A and B are shown apart, each in its own frame.
Chain A
Amino acid sequence: MARSHSTDYVIPKPPLPGRILASVPVSITIYLLVIGFIAYTAYDGSKAMGYNWQWYRMPQYLWTMTDEGFQWGEIALGLVKTLQLSLLAFVLALALGLIVALLRLSGLLVGTAVARVFLEVVRNTPLLVLLYLFYYVLGPIFDLDRYTASILCLGVYHAALISEIFRAAINSVAPGQWEGASSIGMSKAQAYRYIVLPQSVRFMLPPMTGEMVNMVKSSAIVSVIAVAELTTMGRNIISDTYMSFEVWFTIAAVYLLVTLTLSFGVSLVERHYALK
């Protein structure tokens, strides 16, 4: 009965319109359907084409066991690079995203304006164009190698999306929490750090998972500037072997494995932050 009065919690509104499409079960289903369809038509078509399946040649690109011992294959090395790249870019995106969100919420005219310009520019530039800007324009100016340029580009691109997640999550915390914090003399920074941000984690975890998955997927685009990550490795193997079907199926499966593992990991964390 006392529960009816506890208004400390506000039911979170879905922070992003794409929430439902990005939810884990839905995305897995869509992924499987699409893959299944492609696999079937590919198999069917390949038979008609007389494609020569050579699956037995694939394992060596994952790992090899030779006399010199165990060795990771090219796909595995590409995967490590993809993970490294995504992780660094994600950390950058988190930091930048939080700053942009706080600027937008600051109520300062300049802060809000800077944040809005950043958001509009990033959101209205195709990722591929952004990558070219970072690599071919900023790269020579600031002496960036292709790996650094990729991390910066992905970080900046996802910071825009992540800042909206932060903003929505911070706004989902009940306004009374600010007042409670102020009433015991906390500064705005203290209120953020000790009261509001810890409570907003609960609201941002689900969409943040989606962003992590998106990051891993969009990192594939840096293969166009030949960063040696998963997709680039795939292209290299194909140019040596012409096994395009086997290679792309394998690469897709590896991405799927990574994103599913991520989603599962985050769902464990989510449980930790569930209502006490």
Chain B
Amino acid sequence: MTGGNPIIQAEALDKYYGSFQALDNINMSVHSGERVVICGPSGSGKSTLIRCFNALEHHSAGKLIVDGIEVFEGSKEIRRLRQEVGMVFQQFNLFPHLTVLENLTIGPIRVRKVPKAEAEANAHRYLERVHIPEQADKYPSQLSGGQQQRVAIARSLCMESRIMLFDEPTSALDPEMINEVLDVMVGLADTGMTMVCVTHEMGFARKVADTMIFMDGGQIIETAPPEKFFTQPESERCKAFLEQILEH
């Protein structure tokens, strides 16, 4: 972990859906180049938390600063923020009416105003990096799930984001496709990208995480480097959770 100001800083975040509290007093920070893996049982608020980081959800109380931008509902800076913070979804959310190449270039061209030729050159470069350079002219529905998710990763990379958020990127995939996506993510970690991943792929977490976070009931229960997190977790809940998922 590097010094200096954190690139993501959350202070006392709360999030309510109506009267239901999904996030409860979240305090955390992520530094530039840091890789954070968040895990926890279903419904613990993992998605809600990282969706707050790119303002897909708005926190109800507390303070959140991402890449120097204070995030709050109605902020004029939200679109600029989202250009800096890429997001990869469980269900890919590719644009089915556009080819792979168009999926990758529409953001740079329409949002970042990059010239078309340059955007396409970049797109080809990133497709290379996610190991599917030959699929540029296909439509998403013609690709396997693993390939679609790699296109989704490339789509975020094409925006030249400085931070990448992953929300269970492999949990909608057939088992034989999980590794091809994780490999791409490990490669991305090697480039020094700041990453916040919600995932239950503990092998991946061990390999790339600088920091592990365990959430339950909308709270951060435990924060620790992976060596400590996997061998001697402090809380009982975290221990039980790890036992359960490492069994498989």
Residues of A within 8 A of B (CB): 1-3, 5-9, 176-177, 179-187, 190, 194-195, 198-199, 275-276
Contacts and interface: CB of A to CB of B under 8 A. Distances in A.
B111 A5 contact: no
A180 B172 CA distance: 16
Contact of A185 (B83, B145, B147): B83
B145 A194 contact: no
B148 A186 contact: no
A187 B95 contact: no
Contact of B110 (A7, A180, A190, A276): A190
Interface stretch (B61-69, B86-94, B196-204, B209-217): B86-94
A8 B79 contact: no
B174 A185 contact: no
A16 B20 CA distance: 35
Nearest to B165: A183
B91 A184 contact: no
Nearest to B84: A185
Given A179-B93, A184-B111, A8 B83 contact: no
A184 B86 CA distance: 7
A178 to B, nearest CB: 9
Residue among B82, B97, B147, B156 with the highest chain A CB neighbour number at 10 A: B97
B87 A276 contact: no
A198 B103 CA distance: 14
A89 B142 CA distance: 40
The contact size tier of chain B is 35 or more
B140 A185 contact: no
A53 B95 CA distance: 61
7 contacts: A1-B174, A5-B173, A184-B107, A184-B159, A185-B107, A195-B95, A199-B95
B143 A2 contact: yes
Given A5-B172, A7-B91, A9-B141, 6 more contacts: A5-B91, A179-B56, A180-B89, A183-B89, A185-B80, A186-B110
B83 A184 contact: yes
Given A183-B86, A183-B156, A184-B83, A276 B139 contact: yes
A183 B57 CA distance: 12
Interface of B: 54, 56, 79-80, 82-83, 86-87, 89, 91-97, 106-107, 110-112, 139-148, 155-156, 159, 172-174, 177
Given A2-B174, A6-B140, A183-B54, A276 B111 contact: no
B97 A199 contact: yes
B110 A8 contact: no
A172 to B, nearest CB: 13
A179 B142 CA distance: 22
Contacts of A9: 96, 141
Given A184-B82, A184-B111, A186-B110, A2 B94 contact: no
Contacts of A7: 91
Contact of B93 (A5, A176, A187): A176
A180 to B, nearest CB: 3
Contact of A186 (B86, B107, B144, B173): B107
Contacts of B89: 176, 179-180, 183
B56 A183 contact: yes
A2 B149 CA distance: 11
Given A2-B143, A185-B107, A8 B82 contact: no
Nearest to B108: A184
B93 A177 contact: yes
Nearest to B80: A185
A3 B146 CA distance: 11
Contact of A180 (B93, B143, B173): B93
Contacts of B79: 185-187
Contact of B155 (A182, A184, A187, A190): A184
Nearest to B107: A184
Nearest to A273: B97
Contacts of A194: 106, 110
Contact of A8 (B107, B141, B144, B159): B141
Q: For the complex of A and B, list the 7 residue pairs with the smallest distance between their C-beta atoms, beginning with the closest.
A: A180-B93, A184-B107, A2-B144, A185-B83, A176-B93, A2-B145, A183-B87
Nearest to A183: B87
B56 A190 contact: no
Contacts of B112: 185
Contact of B156 (A176, A184, A186, A190): A184
A183 B110 CA distance: 13
Nearest to B95: A195
A138 to B, nearest CB: 40
A181 B96 CA distance: 12
